[in-house]
Amino acid sequence: MPWYDIYRSYDDDALTALANAGLLRRAAKDVEAGKVDWLEQGEQAGVIGADGQRVELDSQGLPQARCDCPAPGLCKHILGAVLWLRGQDTAAPAPAALPSALNEVLGLDLASLFKTAGRAAVRQAFAAESHGAVEIVEQPGGFTVSWPELGLSCRYLAGLGLAGMVSELPARDQAGLHLAAVLAVWRANGRVVPRPDWLEAEQPAVSDGRLDGDESALLDQVEAALTELLAQGLGHLGTVAAARLGALAVSVRGEGLPRLAAMLRNLAGTLTLLAKRDDRSDSRHALAMMARLYALCAALRAGAAEPARLGMLRGRLRRDYREGEALELLPLGAEWWETRGGARGLTLWCWDAAAGDLKSATLARPDGNDPGFYRHAAWNQLALWPGAGSAEHICQGSLRLESPRLADDQRLAVGGSSRAEVMAPWAADDPRLEQLGDHDWQVAVERLRQGVGLTGQPVEALLLRPQRWLPLRLDEVAQRLDWTVFDAAGQALTLTLRCEPTQRERLEGLSRRLDEATLDLRAVLVRVDRREAVTRLEPLALLHLEASQLRTISLDFDPAPHRRGRVAPTEGRILRLLEARRQPPLAQPGIAGRCLDPLLAQLEAWAELGRPLPGEFQRERLAECAQAARRAGLELPARLTDTLLARPDVAGLLRLYYVAQLAMTLEGLTVAEAAVEQD
């Protein structure tokens, strides 16, 4: 077929990804106006006149296209030439007779591709295998490979090879992703992808106590990307920003920095929602993630001389599940959760009496995958381990887990070689009940405080053993349900549930169960929620004695049945709040929050607009915030604000935002501890 028929593979989506929609529209107008035609037509190449310019094209596709206009890259004249060629009546075979792009890829020599792409791209391509599901969609003249969890996709065009692949990423980031797409096609078609010998021989970077040159360069790229995003403004982002972060996440993971990669991946998902103006998007949440990313980059550089600290900051290349001895576990209940990006899952919590700690196992699906995976199907239909049945069945007794695969963070792998057996529930006189959970609120709060920061291990849940409790208290102004529980020393701790639709099952289950005068409560499983300045403890499950046996009630799945003709007063008020659907107010901050929240608001406004410097009004407000912080004894945030005013830059903004948020988080824990008071 003629050399110029290769340009039929470039549809409008591919051209838009290579240039932009506006430039493509201008090129189309030139074609419609008759400003494009042949100047020279050869057997291997040709020259096309487009609006007075000379465009040179050949069979190598757009990577080799040249135009004599001064515009850099892919100009409107080249786009016009491609659009014009697509519309020419040639003797080329019909599209159905063109060779399959998938077959073309399966015939590529991977060894040659690896050599051409380079070692950095090969590392990135193999690292992409761990970034969730891959979608491959065949189209006329090519196919598209997408990673939904990363928000990344690229297009392979028949006849153009790896060099002719198209994506929205900058040229410097394309090689690894495009190679990863080729490997994904091989795997999807049952082909074995051989790992290069040099890649197998490389030791994971986490075994070294220093950052190497490639890792330092990646940290530079991450910091530069954050700077560019804020210079553009969070209110003006496009999808390209998220795609670039997704590609960076793949590169970072390939270089042995999995914790940084996970944070980049989460930020990419948040920015995708922002770019789409999704209701779930939140620029404040995005800025907080960016500040934490910047802080992690700084901590990685500072921790280079301390191997142990650097290892924690790096994270693990993969969750290392190690097979161990059988575990005797007490199921505590399960929770249902959904993320901003649409992922959803069920997490089962268990108490390990021998180790005296909590362990968890999770069933989850990413956004848009498996429509049969929903709340109650995950609870009463899907098995976590062979022999155990569903989470509902497991929570009816105790659990023995053979050959468990346990990670360092106490997470249990589901499925695999593990085998489980549901045993009889614990009896009321079981001596293990005496060691169940936390009975001193001071100790529990101290563990929460130690989990704050980049090097701490965040505490996700607690098991509390209250000795007594007060009736539920509904705060209709704050739109929350409070439940005060007391430990053995008479110290009080308040558990809270927001009155919002996503919490409906928990609200109804808790209000109905505690209304039962016969409930013999022995322990409460709570989730640690840090979404606001004040850390909240949310009840997830209740453990109680029934017929001399310990039973669990999962509030997400086990609401008590209605008593005929009767609705508890508290439950009725909760239902009226849920039906009103008012926006609940934010939690009232403490002293640090009252000083720093206005500071955060000014930084957020600056980041939203993308101005290079704060305006005069913002400078005055920032100076006032610095004075207020200093009067409250918050010297570090005050000093960082002074520095930012003297030398405004993105690095200073992110540094100040991270420190201010950290101070408010610590105060939130202090507030929680202050609530631990003698009754």
pLDDT tens-digit map of 39-57: 988 888 889 999 889 999 9
660-671, pLDDT tens digit by residue? 888 887 776 643
233-273, pLDDT tens digit by residue? 888 777 667 777 877 777 776 667 878 887 887 888 788 77
Element containing residue 390 per DSSP (H, E): strand 389-390
| Type of residue numbered 259 | R
Lowest-pLDDT choice from 349-353, 452-456, 561-565? 561-565
Which residue's structure tokens are 């197998």?
A: 200
Which residue's structure tokens are 């039973």?
A: 551
Q: What is the pLDDT of residue 144?
A: 84
504-539, pLDDT tens digit by residue? 888 888 888 887 767 899 999 999 987 665 678 999
Q: CA dist 191 to 105, 122, 162, 187, 465, Å?
A: 11, 18, 18, 5, 54
* DSSP code for 643: H
Specify whether the CB–CB gap between 558 and 543 falls below 8 A. Answer: no
Q: What is the mean pLDDT of residues 336-362?
A: 87
DSSP E strand stretches across 228-385: 322-323, 327-338, 344-352, 357-365, 383-385
Which tokens hold the place of 113? 């591709």
Q: What is the pLDDT of residue 580?
A: 60
Whole-angstrom Cα distance, residue 422 to residue 299?
45
Whole-angstrom Cα distance, residue 612 to residue 604?
14
441-469, pLDDT tens digit by residue? 988 888 888 777 776 677 889 999 999 99
Which tokens hold the place of 277? 């103006």
Angle (nearest 5°) at CA 421 between 416 and 427: 145
Highest mean pLDDT among 115-119, 476-480, 633-637: 633-637
Element containing residue 38 per DSSP (H, E): strand 36-41
In this structure, the dihedral spanned by the alpha carbons of residues 92, 94, 95 and 100, taken in order and rounded to 10 degrees, is -80
Q: Which class in CATH covers the domain with range 433-580? A: mainly beta
Residues 6+ apart with CB under 8 A from 411: 319, 359, 360, 361, 362
> pTM for this one?
0.63
Which tokens hold the place of 624? 């006032």
Position 562 pLDDT exceeds 90 = no
Whole-angstrom Cα distance, residue 195 to residue 122?
9
Q: What is the pLDDT of residue 609?
A: 82
Position 62 pLDDT exceeds 70 = yes
Whole-angstrom Cα distance, residue 519 to residue 23?
69
Neighbours of 109 (CB within 10 A): 9
Lowest-pLDDT choice from 130-144, 267-281, 555-569, 652-666? 555-569
| Chain CA centroid to CA 430, Å | 41
Q: What is the pLDDT of residue 201?
A: 65
Q: What is the pLDDT of residue 421?
A: 93
Q: What is the mean pLDDT of residues 285-305?
A: 84
DSSP 225-245: HHHHHHHH-GGG--HHHHHHH
CATH of domain 322-424: 2.40.50
pLDDT level of residue 371 (50, 70, 90 thresholds): confident
Cα-trace Rg, the chain = 29
Q: Which comes out higher in pLDDT, residue 49 or 323?
A: 49
Position 5 pLDDT exceeds 70 = yes
Whole-angstrom Cα distance, residue 35 to residue 61?
22
Q: For the chain, what percent of residues have pLDDT higher than 90?
A: 22
Whole-angstrom Cα distance, residue 387 to residue 385?
6
* Among the listed residues 417, 422, 394, 395, the one whose alpha carbon sits nearest the alpha carbon of residue 405: 417
DSSP 112-128: HHHHHH-HHHHHHHHHG
Phi/psi at 540 (nearest 5 deg)? -110, -40
DSSP 478-518: TTEEEEEEE-TT-BEEEEEEE-SGGGHHHHHHHHHHHT-TT
| Type of residue numbered 437 | G
Q: What is the pLDDT of residue 95?
A: 39
